[in-house]
Structure 1
Amino acid sequence: MGLLAWLAGHLQAQRGMLLPWVPVCYGIGIAIYFAQPVEPSREFLWALAGAGLICAAIAQILRGSATAILLTGATFICAGVPMAGWRAHDVAAPVLGWRYYGPVEGRVVAIDRSASDAVRLTLDRLRMGKIPTARTPERVRISLHGDAAGSITPMPGQRIMTTAHVSPPGGPVEPGGFDFQRHSWFLKLGGVGYTRVPIVQAGPPDISGWRMRVFTMRMAVSHFVRDILPGDIGGFAAAVTSGDRSGMGQAALEDLRASNLAHLLAISGLHMGLLTGFVFAVLRFGLVLVPGVALHWPVRAIAAAGALVAGAGYLALSGGNVSTERAFIMAAVALGAVMLNRRAISLRSVAIAAMIVLSLRPEAMLGPGFQMSFAATAGLVAVFNALRDAPWRLPRWVQPVSAVVISSAVAGLATAPFSAAHFNAVSHYGLFANVLSVPVMGALVVPAAVLAACLAPIGLAAPALWVMGWGLEWILFVAQTTANFPGARSFVVGPSAWVLPCLTLGLVVIILWQGRLRWIGVGPVAAALMLWSVQERPAVLISDTGGLVGVMTAEGRALSRARGSGFVATNWLENDGDGGDQAAAHARWAAEWPAEEGSRAARAALAGVPLWHVTGKKAAAAAPDCTAGILVSNQPVPRQSPDCALFDPDRLKSTGAVALYLVPGGQLVVRTARDVAGERLWSQWPDAAPRHAAVRALQYVRISPTKRP
């Protein structure tokens, strides 16, 4: 009873700060749904929803007690699971089950750039050869290469036709890696591919529907801005005003990432805050200048309403991604509080924004945009609330500079672990770059953008855009200079699945809990960082097509090929914390295991187990006898000895990418992408009778030189 009384006392002490815990519990429920090894049944989801209602009813009966607080948390956990399940079923759409080559006809609904700097089109209302309508994907995404790149200028709603290679969305590039199949499922993206064939227009543009009309307006604004401002400056300006990043070159993007200024490119809290703040200040100051209005009208409320309208327009113009949605919701809550004469910025407003975003898009919680956005916002609100209540004050002339430095430092520290976990890189001069850039964004770029929007209807936007361009040119200069500093960026190993949840739990407790017990959160944070520091990387990685093999050596991961499977190679090296490229990684292979004369196979060895990698039909036909070894091929190979561990396309199609771990005793342990990803709605595993899902996620298959897995 003493422990229960102690717990009840501490829970009661949290009254007044319990609302921020609601999205935490809701997010736990969403995480439980996505962590399942098999897709939960509809009956299970309904049962959890019912359990949540029962908890809510009992909590209402016991209102005011510590038990009611716990039951309310259980209610939102139970609600998070079926909400995520409902969303996953609601976005269900056909997915290609094979590699397709043939005619593709569809309507352009999105334009962006791929990692290889190629223009990329997302198409809907598709026709794909003889594929039945019921099996045709709702959307596909195609990159334009070769003759296709300059054959046509794609426009929103344009109906185009080409001949393309289209494949199902790929699974993780390694077990536990980013699951592109899941990401594509929630985008209703049923296929991805490329074309080198010129594109032709197949019909008149169709911009029916409000989404297409907004997309058309966004691209019109982007083209207008880029016609006035040249090169990367115009691309930057288009990204800030319309959310269209297709005009930014890869070199400029890389400089922004290396200097920790990439957040200025995405329309997020900073841009929305600067825009609504600027509009609010201008409207309020303008209304105050009119004596009758200032004395008799609610000037603050009117200015807040005008800023809210401006923010809504900016949200629509930006395309409405997760970061912009979160920023608008935060701004709307803050401006609503101003209209109601309440505190504008608090952790409660952050909680409300999180609940709205998670209810609309539960899957957003797994992405870096949501995690970094809310980490930065919660950190800033918590720190500035603490500074506001501090007994000391800085001189007024120092406060603007200190606010920029503190906000940049807090946002950088809050987002650093999430950025490092998702992008495997840490910028060491990010604070320096942000201090030099953020004031320019607030004092020059955003006001000039607002002025350009006001002057555009009368044809006088160009001078304001030139001013905006000067500010963006400075930011790009800072980014390039910072990125070129020695040691500007270092690379870190990708964390295991438990690191980010453990880290997040600790940070949430530190920020939200009231009282000295908040420092208990230091324990999970320290545990997460310790787990991350001893992260073990696989001894061998095999791509899901058999086109690439990576073996860990003392010098880093050695890759079997210098070219091909570039996306896979880049991700493997980044997850290793390796800043090198594929060619350098292949040089390690060549130095460690020189090619045998006359052999078509790349040979390596690990713990006494020989490994061969063959690519192409001729090499597969002449594959060596891999008795008591491992053979990887991207083509079917002749029947091998039962003692050969064979990873060919037929097997890899069922397993996905494969990781081999070296364990004491000289044995290798196999872990596949299927083991980790499980059997979900978005999974495309071929066989109908997989191993039992309850044990598959933890099961390891051992390879020895005399036993086939």
Structure 2
Amino acid sequence: MNDISRTAESEESGRRLAPGLFHLHLRGAILALRASFEQEQALRRPFLWLTVAAGAGVALYFAAEREPPLALCLGALGVAALLAVLTRGHARAQALFLALAFIAAGFASGAWRAARVAAPIVPRVGIGELTGFVEEVDLRRAGARFILRVASAEGLPGDVTPARVRLTTRSDPYFQAGDFIALKARLMPPARAALPGGYDFARDAFFARIGAVGNALGRIQTMAPPEPASPSLRFFAAVDRIRNALALRVYRIIDGDAGAIAAAMVTGKRDLLSEDAKNLIRRAGIFHIITISGVQMTLVAGIFFVGFRRLLAMSQTLALNYPIKKWAAGLAILGAILYDIGTGSRVGTERALAMTLIMLAAVLFDRPSLSMRNLALAALFVIAFEPEALLGASFQLSFAAVAALIAVYEWRSDQLARQRVEETAPRGRFAALRENIAERLLHGPGAAIFATLCATSATASFMANDFHELSPYVLIGNPLTLAIIEFFAVPCALIGAALYPFGLDGFVWRYLKMGIDLVTYLAGLIASAPGASLPVKAFAPWAIVFLALAVLSLVLWRTWAFRATAIPLALIGLMGAMGGASFDLAVPATGEAAALRQPSGELALMGQRPGAFAAEQWLRADADARAAGDAKSGVSCDDLGCVGRAFDGRLVALVSARGAFLEDCARASVIVTPLYAPDGCAAAIVIDRRKLAETGAVTLRFKDGGAEWTTARGIDEDRPWSPAPRLRRAPPKDVSEQERAAEDARLMEPLQ
């Protein structure tokens, strides 16, 4: 009995101690987190999250369904900033209001940018007479694409005069940047997203002040301008002429796709490259070889800095009496700015330029040059002046990759410091193993592979979300790309550009051809390997938010206690990535084509001429690697439209001519048309011109005889690049057949 009593007492005592032990462990965890946060504060890491807050403000601005008043945005920013100042004595309150101030600053930056660039947009397709200055010309193998700053416009719908238009000509251009030309052109509004959540060219065109796109018709006449061009236009036009001349020089010497790749690497002009070559290097995971990226900018700045410093060090007087390191940094800043201007100043190079200038400025002021803080300042610069870049793949990929590389650099610094401290301390077997692994990751080939792996992992979620594909062999392609850039592209670009005016640059481009031939040969091997490109289905809209936060947690925090927050964030993001909403019918904003899921489970394209870009978007979002031309079987089409059977058996009709409505409305369950459907159409679901004006591009998921809709436009959306629709009435029933046919032809123009 005594044993039984003692056992009962011990169990009761254990039950009383259990809550105490739990609270003790909880308190210990809280104290550990507090210590970790104090360490993060000592390293000034919370500041980095203010940049994230500003980016969140930009994202909220673009998520709004109506354009917010600029005065209201600035007022919210002022209030939040004032509260942050007034709460300086209360750390938690100040942190909250400071975060709100940066969110408001990002939101206001978007509104301010939209107000600054606002320009007229043509409301629908039309043909007009244009005059204006040519700002930029991108040469192609046949014809060219160019940007025209419009001086006058006649005959366009609504008497609109857009600020800029982007035009294509199939003939070789007899004009160049800076010329004043007159031409007739067929113009249309910039295309909207072909898929909800997909790439929206109309938004990017708005921020580039491009109010129309189209084709030049007939002869393009060069004439004397009514007034001189502005100094900035003359300067950048001169830069574009030099870039085109150099690109043609490189392309003609090397020839073929190798010449086009060389021209893109040297000047940033990519339109000479064929689609086959683009697909090859994309499948090999080295598409960034034809872009002027941060790697080139860093190498150019480094060459200028080291070169000028060593040149100045040749003078003993200068080396001993003057701060030649700072002089070299100042000259490298000038060289980096000129390189950015000379290569077109894209978002990726602007980010790299901002980062490079901050690093070189740190040298001028005797501050650490390579740090995450500098990257945060570069991101703030882009957010402040080009907030729309935040939604682009270039910004996301470049910043994620550089942040991962800096995080690796910081980890290496921590490991080296720890090794110095532990050199005299006794080491166990585990410590020796850890030191051996760290040594292999800190030095030699393992360091480059480890850094590439980290940068690739940081960009993988953005690659999958933006392009719906992953390249497993990127660990092979990226070191190959870096080697070509370091030993061929950047040195040849600098030396060749310097020798070009003297006509002595030919041998430089032939040397560059050797490197490009090597990289294209190896890219062919990589692209032909099994699984070189893995298609990825479209994510749920919220998935990329959590995946981005996971990446940010890993690279911005320095303590493992806070880095561990990346695990739940990544898990939530991966659930959204794997459970993204699929679709059974996709219709673009024009209504001229569609993608229908068949009983086989694959998508089939409907329409006489489905747009290549829209078709690619639909197939990629469905993780379908087929080309658009291989996805047209399973539907029957004629001059009146197309008919196909969905996976659940319901009939879907795409009506292209009014004469097909009588039959298709009676037998089809779903009607898709770019026209106004008749009021008496008996189909259960009608997606016509009137409906698409409200929804934009739309996807449907069929279920239980009905459908779940996802639209590109929000409810009552009214933004500068996506204005609220102005619906026009359908033609009266008593008009003649000739008038009705004319109205149908007009309605077949792209929907706006």
Q: TM-score range by the shorter chain?
A: 0.7 to 0.9
Alignment of 1:17-416 (within 5 A): 17-62=45-90, 65-112=91-138, 119-131=144-156, 135-144=160-169, 149-195=170-216, 197-203=218-224, 208-227=230-249, 228-390=253-415, 391=419, 392=435, 399=443, 401-416=445-460
Deviation at 1:373, TM superposition (A): 0.7
Deviations 1:458-502 (A, max 9, x none): 443333333233323333333333223333112111212211111
Deviations 1:565-585 (A, max 9, x none): 222111111111111122321
Aligned residue in 2 for 1:692? none
Q: What is the letter of the counterpart of residue 671 of structure 1?
A: T
Deviation at 1:346, TM superposition (A): 0.7
Quote the Cα distance in structure 1 between the aligned partners of 2:89 and 2:727. Answer: 47
Kept after mapping to 2: 8 A contact 1:22/1:73: yes
Distance of aligned partners of 1:449 and 1:676 in 2 relative to their CA distance in 1, 3 Å threshold: farther
Aligned residue in 1 for 2:595? 550
Distance of aligned partners of 1:19 and 1:638 in 2 relative to their CA distance in 1, 3 Å threshold: closer
What SS does the corresponding residue of 1:631 show, helix, strand or coil? strand
Q: 1:661 aligns with which of 680, 701, 704?
A: 701
Aligned residue in 1 for 2:736? none
Aligned residue in 1 for 2:743? none
Q: What is the letter of the counterpart of residue 226 of structure 1?
A: L
Kept after mapping to 2: 8 A contact 1:12/1:66: no
Quote the Cα distance in structure 1 between the aligned partners of 2:70 and 2:304. Answer: 47
Quote the Cα distance in structure 1 between the aligned partners of 2:693 and 2:143. Answer: 28
Quote the Cα distance in structure 2 between the aligned partners of 1:414 and 1:562. Answer: 41
Deviations 1:53-104 (A, max 9, x none): 2232124343xx2332333222211221112111111111001112112333
Quote the Cα distance in structure 1 between the aligned partners of 2:281 and 2:142. Answer: 16
Gaps of 5+ in 1: 690-709
Q: What is the letter of the counterpart of residue 626 of structure 1?
A: A
Quote the Cα distance in structure 1 between the aligned partners of 2:631 and 2:440. Answer: 54
Quote the Cα distance in structure 2 between the aligned partners of 1:304 and 1:18. Answer: 29
Kept after mapping to 1: 8 A contact 2:497/2:505: yes
Deviations 1:29-70 (A, max 9, x none): 1111111122223453133123222232124343xx233233
Kept after mapping to 2: 8 A contact 1:570/1:582: yes
Deviations 1:169-193 (A, max 9, x none): 2221122222222211111111112
Q: Does 1:483 align with 2:527?
A: yes
Distance of aligned partners of 1:487 and 1:142 in 2 relative to their CA distance in 1, 3 Å threshold: same
**What TM-score, normalized to structure 1?**
0.87
Deviation at 1:440, TM superposition (A): 2.7
Aligned residue in 2 for 1:568? 614
Kept after mapping to 2: 8 A contact 1:56/1:71: yes
Quote the Cα distance in structure 1 between the aligned partners of 2:70 and 2:495. Answer: 52
Q: What is the letter of the counterpart of residue 666 of structure 2?
A: C
Aligned residue in 2 for 1:585? 631
Kept after mapping to 1: 8 A contact 2:601/2:647: no
Aligned residue in 2 for 1:533? 578
Distance of aligned partners of 1:605 and 1:315 in 2 relative to their CA distance in 1, 3 Å threshold: closer
Quote the Cα distance in structure 1 between the aligned partners of 2:32 and 2:57. Answer: 27
Distance of aligned partners of 1:200 and 1:456 in 2 relative to their CA distance in 1, 3 Å threshold: same
Deviations 1:651-705 (A, max 9, x none): 3233322211224x3321233322379321221332489xxxxxxxxxxxxxxxx
Q: 1:651 aligns with which of 677, 687, 691?
A: 691
Matched pairs, number: 675
**What TM-score, normalized to structure 2?**
0.83
Distance of aligned partners of 1:93 and 1:407 in 2 relative to their CA distance in 1, 3 Å threshold: same
Q: Does 1:629 align with 2:655?
A: no
Aligned residue in 2 for 1:702? none
Distance of aligned partners of 1:615 and 1:12 in 2 relative to their CA distance in 1, 3 Å threshold: same
Deviation at 1:299, TM superposition (A): 3.0
Quote the Cα distance in structure 2 between the aligned partners of 1:58 and 1:218. Answer: 50
Deviation at 1:325, TM superposition (A): 0.9
Q: What is the letter of the counterpart of residue 30 of structure 1?
A: V
Distance of aligned partners of 1:154 and 1:461 in 2 relative to their CA distance in 1, 3 Å threshold: same
Deviation at 1:600, TM superposition (A): 5.6
Quote the Cα distance in structure 2 between the aligned partners of 1:499 and 1:350. Answer: 25
Distance of aligned partners of 1:236 and 1:207 in 2 relative to their CA distance in 1, 3 Å threshold: farther
What SS does the corresponding residue of 1:124 show, helix, strand or coil? strand
Q: State the Cα RMSD in Å.
A: 3.1
What SS does the corresponding residue of 2:134 show, helix, strand or coil? strand
Quote the Cα distance in structure 2 between the aligned partners of 1:133 and 1:626. Answer: 38
Q: Percent identity?
A: 28
Q: 1:603 aligns with which of 629, 640, 644?
A: 644
Q: Does 1:679 align with 2:725?
A: no
Q: Does 1:510 align with 2:538?
A: no
Kept after mapping to 2: 8 A contact 1:549/1:560: yes
Deviation at 1:242, TM superposition (A): 2.6
Kept after mapping to 2: 8 A contact 1:55/1:74: no
What SS does the corresponding residue of 1:624 show, helix, strand or coil? helix
Deviations 1:126-175 (A, max 9, x none): 4332349973111111222xxxx125344102233333321112221122
Deviations 1:437-465 (A, max 9, x none): 31232123212322223334544333333
Gaps of 5+ in 2: 1-26, 420-434, 729-752
Distance of aligned partners of 1:539 and 1:668 in 2 relative to their CA distance in 1, 3 Å threshold: same
Q: 2:709 aligns with which of 664, 670, 686?
A: 670
Q: What is the letter of the counterpart of residue 680 of structure 2?
A: Q
Quote the Cα distance in structure 1 between the aligned partners of 2:589 and 2:344. Answer: 33
What SS does the corresponding residue of 1:14 show, helix, strand or coil? helix
Aligned residue in 2 for 1:694? none
Kept after mapping to 2: 8 A contact 1:563/1:582: no
Alignment of 1:683-694 (within 5 A): 683-687=722-726
Deviation at 1:386, TM superposition (A): 0.4
Quote the Cα distance in structure 1 between the aligned partners of 2:265 and 2:309. Answer: 25
